[in-house]
Amino acid sequence: MTEKKMKTKIVATIGPASQSKPVLTEMIKAGVNVIRLNFSHGSYEEQLERVNLVRSVNKDLGTKTAILADLQGPKIRTGMVPDAGITVKKGEQITFTNEPMMGTQEKISVQYHYFARDVSPGDQIMVDDGKLLYKVISTDKEKEVVLEAMVEGTIKSRKGINLPDTDISMPGLTEKDKEDVDFIMSLEVNWIALSFVRSANDIIELRDLINSYDKAVKPKIIAKIEKPEAIKDIDKIISVSDGIMVARGDLGIEVPQEKVPVFQKQLVRKCLDASKPTIIATQMMEGMLSNVRPTRAEVSDVANSVLDGADALMLSGETSVG
């Protein structure tokens, strides 16, 4: 089979909805150029199976679909709660603790040891891609933080937590990331993406780690831009990275949403000037999680990203669970 030639590439996340050979075959036939492995979820055994599946389909079709391993980075998540979730009404209080536990109506765990130390009274805490908003009432600076719900909503297990008002002390490359890189280097993937990059030093640290492995061909590095600190250091980040991903989901929580389209255009232009590829990610076709056709706004979003000069567009839940 001859690969389709497109100026703008398609990155698709593999997951429960797409990790069968028939589905993945159709995706690659339809034009997917890169398969993304999300290391925030899934076991090493599952990731290895996915890599082998991609290579099997490539062999069958005569294609060269690349593989991108996406590291979790310093992502803070909620701990485990009952399947139904925990609903907190507006004005009610709930305690977040760094101690592992099954969540209750009064208290849930947070997967970040220094959460209580880093936050301060008045800080905003956003959960589940900004769907839930809380305000810090008090912190004991050791284990527990008391929050007030600013909107009603249900907290689910392992949902992302954003701290737009807080400078977190978590390293750019976590111990989990280092363990994941060790496994990823055995897979011989094409790209590694680092999440929540805050400075060029984060990329340099990852590059040094990759170079410590005795491999003839080493994966290239994508810096995911989703923190305001990264915007401030963007020129240096671009210079030490092999490419940039505009990760609009968390970026749109960490900075005012209305600034995201402007940042997207600026980042694409800077990467074009530096001859570095850019990937536009998050909610490209989110409506297709439940509908067979994209919305007109999604079509316009895709078109504008292409017209801006983006090298690739990325699908997440649309292909992993949709």
What is the per-residue pLDDT across 255-278, written as a single tens digit (0 to 9) for each? 999 999 999 999 999 999 999 999
- Domain with residue 156: its CATH number is 2.40.33.10
In a shared domain, residues 218 and 315: yes
Does residue 206 lie within any of the structural domains? yes
Q: What is the pLDDT of residue 1?
A: 42
Does residue 306 lie within any of the structural domains? yes
Does residue 32 lie within any of the structural domains? yes
In a shared domain, residues 197 and 305: yes
In a shared domain, residues 62 and 158: no
Does residue 301 lie within any of the structural domains? yes
User: Given 9, 55, 77, 117, which residue is catalytic?
Assistant: 77
In a shared domain, residues 192 and 291: yes
Q: What is the pLDDT of residue 321?
A: 84
Which domain, by its residues, includes 112?
A: 76-162
Q: What is the pLDDT of residue 75?
A: 87
Q: What is the pLDDT of residue 188?
A: 93
Does 55 have pLDDT greater than 90? yes
In a shared domain, residues 252 and 150: no
In a shared domain, residues 312 and 180: yes
- Sign of the Cα torsion 199, 205, 207, 208 reads positive
Does residue 23 lie within any of the structural domains? yes
Listed residues 134, 162, 190: the one ending a domain? 162
Q: Is 276 a catalytic residue?
A: no
Strand partners, 194: 223
Q: pLDDT confidence of 108, banded at 50, 70, 90?
A: very high
In a shared domain, residues 283 and 307: yes
User: Given 224, 227, 248, 319, which residue is catalytic?
Assistant: 224
Does residue 191 lie within any of the structural domains? yes
Mean pLDDT of the chain: 95
Q: What is the pLDDT of residue 32?
A: 97
Listed residues 162, 185, 201: the one ending a domain? 162
In a shared domain, residues 199 and 228: yes
Q: Is 77 a catalytic residue?
A: yes
Q: Which value, to the nearest 10 degrees, does the dihedral of the CA atoms of residues 41, 46, 49, 53 take?
A: -40
Q: Is 36 a catalytic residue?
A: yes
- Domain with residue 240: its CATH number is 3.20.20.60
In a shared domain, residues 301 and 201: yes
In a shared domain, residues 255 and 122: no
Looking at residues 11-36, what average pLDDT do you find?
96
In a shared domain, residues 95 and 223: no
Nearest Cα to 146, choosing from 95, 89, 78? 95
Listed residues 162, 180, 203: the one ending a domain? 162
33-49 residue pLDDT tens: 999 999 998 999 999 99
Taking phi over 0 as left and psi of -120 to 50 as alpha, with beta for the rest, 78 belongs to beta
Domain tally, the chain: 2
User: Given 13, 65, 278, 282, which residue is catalytic?
Assistant: 282
To the nearest 10 degrees (0 to 180), the angle between helices 296-308 and 260-274 is 30
Does residue 27 lie within any of the structural domains? yes
Q: Is 320 exposed, middle or buried (0-12, 13-18, 19+ CB in 10 A)?
A: buried
Which residues in the chain belong to E strands, given as ranges?
Answer: 9-13, 34-38, 66-70, 76-77, 86-88, 93-97, 107-109, 124-127, 132-139, 144-149, 153-155, 160-162, 191-194, 220-225, 243-247, 278-281, 312-315
In a shared domain, residues 142 and 38: no
Does 3 have pLDDT greater than 70? no
- Higher-confidence residue of 117 and 169: namely 117
Confirm if 288 and 306 have CB atoms less than 8 A apart.
no
Does residue 224 lie within any of the structural domains? yes
pTM of the model: 0.89
